[in-house]
Chains A and B, each alone.
Chain A
């Protein structure tokens, strides 16, 4: 039973445009959500997070939106840059000290 779903395996975007990466979850106990970015031959690195008490969190070019009623979150990257090309993992947990459940990841390619 996959509790965190990233249904699109890949996304290709033109440099300068917006990238929108989607994530759905099924466990209503999840209350903290994170995005990780992974380059080839490196470990995943933390990108941005959001708690369930918020519906938006912004950090520079990266914004995460949370829609709790739809159990959906999205990561927006504006403007997209070639260096953003990586695998992005969505993750969720029911709270601090709890297990982090990851999605399958989405490969983002930003074309120059």
Chain B
């Protein structure tokens, strides 16, 4: 089944404790992206990647890092999480030339 898989789905952590949210897609998509969803703010792009080793900032990149060492994986790294990063995170991917994004099921992160 074609899908985007995120882990963990739920996480409660404390301020300053580094964490990584993994994202993997099995569709051989070139483009991958991370979004966060917050009440009243909709979906905002954090980082995106056009292909392996090519990443760029989205609208709200502060406090986040990403890497794209393999085509299928695009982890989101929070080096020193803060409470304002409490949010629902979505990873998404699409093929080159396509407009439609396929989303993962989401990762709900709470930073205390």
Binds B, one of A13-21, A44-52, A60-68: A44-52
B40 near A100 with CB under 8 A, answer no
The tally of residues in A whose CB lies under 8 Å from a CB in B reads: 22
Query: Residue-by-residue, is A13-50 near B (CB-CB < 8 Å gives 1, otherwise 0)?
Result: 00000000000000000001010100001111110010
* Chain B residues whose C-beta falls within 8 Å of the C-beta of A44 in the assembled complex: 43, 90, 103
**Bound-complex Cα distance A99 to B4 (A):** 19
Main secondary structure, interface of A, reads loop
A43 near B105 with CB under 8 A, answer yes
B42 near A99 with CB under 8 A, answer no
A-B interface pairs (CB < 8 A), number:
52
Does A80 reach chain B (CB closer than 8 Å)? no
Q: Identify which of A97, A103, A105 gathers the most chain B CB atoms within 10 Å of its CB.
A: A97
Residues 65-81 (chain A) with a chain B CB within 8 angstroms: none
**Bound-complex Cα distance A46 to B102 (A):** 7
Q: Identify which of B35, B44, B58, B101 gathers the most chain A CB atoms within 10 Å of its CB.
A: B101
B45 near A99 with CB under 8 A, answer yes
CB distance from B76 to the nearest CB of A (A): 15
* Chain B residues whose C-beta falls within 8 Å of the C-beta of A9 in the assembled complex: 40
* Chain A residues whose C-beta falls within 8 Å of the C-beta of B45 in the assembled complex: 99-100
**Bound-complex Cα distance A103 to B37 (A):** 11
B41 near A104 with CB under 8 A, answer yes
Given contacts A44-B90, A89-B43, A104-B42, contact A96 B103 (CB under 8 A): no
CB distance from A66 to the nearest CB of B (A): 14
**Bound-complex Cα distance A36 to B99 (A):** 12
Does B81 reach chain A (CB closer than 8 Å)? no
A102 near B97 with CB under 8 A, answer no
The 6 closest A-B pairs by CB, nearest first: A43-B103, A104-B42, A102-B43, A43-B105, A96-B97, A44-B103
Q: What residues of chain B have their CB less than 8 Å away from a CB belonging to chain A?
A: 4, 31, 35, 40-45, 48, 50, 58, 90, 92, 96-106
